[in-house]
Chains A and B, each alone.
Chain A
């Protein structure tokens, strides 16, 4: 009987399926940050329970970290959260890349850098963007804090089997279109609830042509389509990325591991509950116009009108988004002026993202009145960029070159939009107030963000000088 990759991982990690109750799925890796874990540790303490497999956990501090003067956390409540994380990890001997570590950064950037996630694993974290690690062919998904506590105590999760969706993208991407644009184009097609109840497997030659960084960007945003997780079949690109990394299998274990990983791809003819297909040629650089990641359009397009939607809910959502975003139907996307540009986040905070942006910023200057800041996803990303002179390109162009953290992706650390400000952002969510109360977010790729910083408005980078 043929199986999809999801089904293979499910079968391999199924601990027990009682007649009454819930199936229990074994968790191989548990990732942790300061925001969603303190109450879980407190729960363990109250019940006198212990962390079952300390080695399965890797932690960082990322959400509350200032990107300037990083040790000076002004907000006392945030400071306590950071201290609590540090203390909890110390007490339980958990491997933490904390404030003092030169490996610190955004959890979903740091974890792959150390080769902590492998194909075939079940990976969870109290963070919806855990989907990122599906890029390695691991079943990776976000959980709530009660489940964080459950995993620490039992190394398992009570799980229901998801449905499977194959998302096939074939062909060659147009110049300047990236994994981010693929992700946004998919969400535009499925809607933010289109993936609800599904695990999405991304396949097709456009996907296999992506680097690991690109695959991570794509899987990262599977959650924005409502999917519990995204998956890409592991291949030589995956193995080359992992080989030699700190937590990768070593010596004789390496060939054994690779052999196992090669067996994980969906079988020829395996059946999916749903299939959607996209042509890479159709995916121009994307820009979101609304307050949901599905409200996105090609940069060549215009802001839609509520009357463009036959579905009443979507039509209403369009009207309310236009009001919040202060946009007019019919306005050209390239006429939208921006105040702030942010490059960073677990979606687009990797070295490749800064290289792509630097290509466009070389010898250019940020437009008058625009504030632009770059936040590398981790210290290793920052160090690598500096080695390549990328920081200089950003700084010469008038950008701020900051320290790592989640920063203005969700604006918990003080980096935020002021009421009414409009951003071009490489992050993942354009929800109302996400980047600051009253802030207006447009999601784009790093290259699109870089070009917007110079022009002061969105541009079609394909014919931009």
Chain B
């Protein structure tokens, strides 16, 4: 996994709540067996007109000022719906590595961390202030410092955010989750021995 490093990038504004995974990546693009190349399909149904090719000029992320944005600022309950990791794959492939909202759906939230994406939870007031700053100055760049757990803006906002210590470390160092867990191989094996004794009918030899 790519380590997450401090950056200053364009913040794109998506003033919508309950953005669901069917919007982030519609199901017709989930048939591929690879992890890569989903960025082109991100928000497809909103992003393109009926011909499926022409960019929809009314869709916010198509604004020239938001091109190259790495930070997405969106309304509450972002990522609700299905467990499809294709959603964060598409978001990362498109170029975002940070999403700021007041709340995220559980599965989507944890999928982000597996893909070098930092989901940042802020308060209603903080979100409104961030959105207002983008709306008044489209193309504005925010600075995200995961180490310091802080988002700062040219307009003078300085927002501290919470992040689970282990997830923070994993993002900063680009850790392999499976390798970390397998360091506890001894504990897993011991658990399995006890599990077999307690619930023998769940094991093939029983």
Q: Which of B34, B107, B164, B203 contacts A144 (CB 8 A)?
A: B107
The residues of A that contact B33 with a CB separation of less than 8 Å are: 38-39, 42, 80-81, 84
Decide: A28 and B181 in contact? CB cutoff 8 A.
no
Decide: B195 and A128 in contact? CB cutoff 8 A.
no
Decide: A15 and B23 in contact? CB cutoff 8 A.
no
Instruction: Decide yes or no whether B187 CB sits under 8 A from chain A.
Output: yes
Interface segment, one of A150-158, A213-221, A262-270: A150-158
Instruction: Decide yes or no whether B204 CB sits under 8 A from chain A.
Output: yes
Decide: B182 and A153 in contact? CB cutoff 8 A.
yes
**Complexed CA–CA distance, A191 and B184 (Å):** 39
Decide: B187 and A429 in contact? CB cutoff 8 A.
no
Decide: B76 and A193 in contact? CB cutoff 8 A.
yes
Instruction: Decide yes or no whether A145 CB sits under 8 A from chain B.
Output: yes
Say how far B206's CB is from chain A's closest CB, in angstroms: 7
The residues of B that contact A316 with a CB separation of less than 8 Å are: 17
Decide: B34 and A39 in contact? CB cutoff 8 A.
yes
Q: Which of B20, B45, B77, B206 contacts A196 (CB 8 A)?
A: B77
Instruction: Decide yes or no whether A440 CB sits under 8 A from chain B.
Output: no
Instruction: Decide yes or no whether A77 CB sits under 8 A from chain B.
Output: yes
Instruction: Decide yes or no whether B178 CB sits under 8 A from chain A.
Output: yes
Q: Which of A20, A75, A253 contacts B201 (CB 8 A)?
A: A253
The residues of B that contact A36 with a CB separation of less than 8 Å are: 83-85
Instruction: Decide yes or no whether A49 CB sits under 8 A from chain B.
Output: yes
Decide: A147 and B206 in contact? CB cutoff 8 A.
no
* B72-91 interface with A by 8 A CB criterion: 75-77, 80-85, 88
**Complexed CA–CA distance, A146 and B182 (Å):** 15
Number of A interface residues, CB 8 Å? 71
Q: Mark A142-180, 1 if CB is under 8 A from B, else 0.
A: 111111011001111010100000000000000000000
Q: Mark A371-382, 1 if CB is under 8 A from B, else 0.
A: 000000000000
Say how far A401's CB is from chain B's closest CB, in angstroms: 24
Smallest Cβ-Cβ distance to A153: which chain B residue: B178
**Complexed CA–CA distance, A192 and B19 (Å):** 11
**Complexed CA–CA distance, A156 and B185 (Å):** 10
Q: Which of A15, A118, A142, A146 contacts B191 (CB 8 A)?
A: A15
Q: Which of B26, B106, B166, B184 contacts A433 (CB 8 A)?
A: B26
Say how far B125's CB is from chain A's closest CB, in angstroms: 14
Number of B interface residues, CB 8 Å? 57
Decide: B27 and A411 in contact? CB cutoff 8 A.
yes
**Complexed CA–CA distance, A42 and B89 (Å):** 15
Decide: A150 and B177 in contact? CB cutoff 8 A.
yes
Q: Mark A119-130, 1 if CB is under 8 A from B, else 0.
A: 000000011101
Q: Mark B96-115, 1 if CB is under 8 A from A, else 0.
A: 00000001111100110011
Say how far A35's CB is from chain B's closest CB, in angstroms: 6
Decide: B178 and A437 in contact? CB cutoff 8 A.
no
Decide: A196 and B106 in contact? CB cutoff 8 A.
yes
Smallest Cβ-Cβ distance to B78: which chain A residue: A193
The residues of B that contact A411 with a CB separation of less than 8 Å are: 27-28
Q: Which of A49, A126, A128, A147 contacts B81 (CB 8 A)?
A: A128
* B164-206 interface with A by 8 A CB criterion: 164-166, 177-178, 180-182, 184, 187-188, 191-192, 195, 199-204, 206
A128 in contact with B83 given A39-B33, A55-B204, A75-B31 (CB within 8 Å): yes
Instruction: Decide yes or no whether A325 CB sits under 8 A from chain B.
Output: no
Decide: A22 and B166 in contact? CB cutoff 8 A.
yes
Instruction: Decide yes or no whether B7 CB sits under 8 A from chain A.
Output: no
Q: Mark B107-151, 1 if CB is under 8 A from A, else 0.
A: 100110011000000000000000000000000000000000000
Known: A292-B20, A412-B30. 7 other contacts (CB 8 A): A64-B31, A150-B177, A160-B164, A410-B82, A412-B27, A429-B22, A432-B45
User: Could you list some 24 contacts between A and B, CB below 8 A?
Assistant: A22-B166, A24-B184, A26-B191, A28-B199, A42-B35, A81-B33, A128-B107, A142-B83, A142-B107, A144-B83, A144-B85, A144-B110, A145-B85, A147-B110, A156-B188, A158-B166, A192-B80, A226-B80, A228-B107, A317-B18, A410-B22, A410-B82, A429-B20, A432-B45
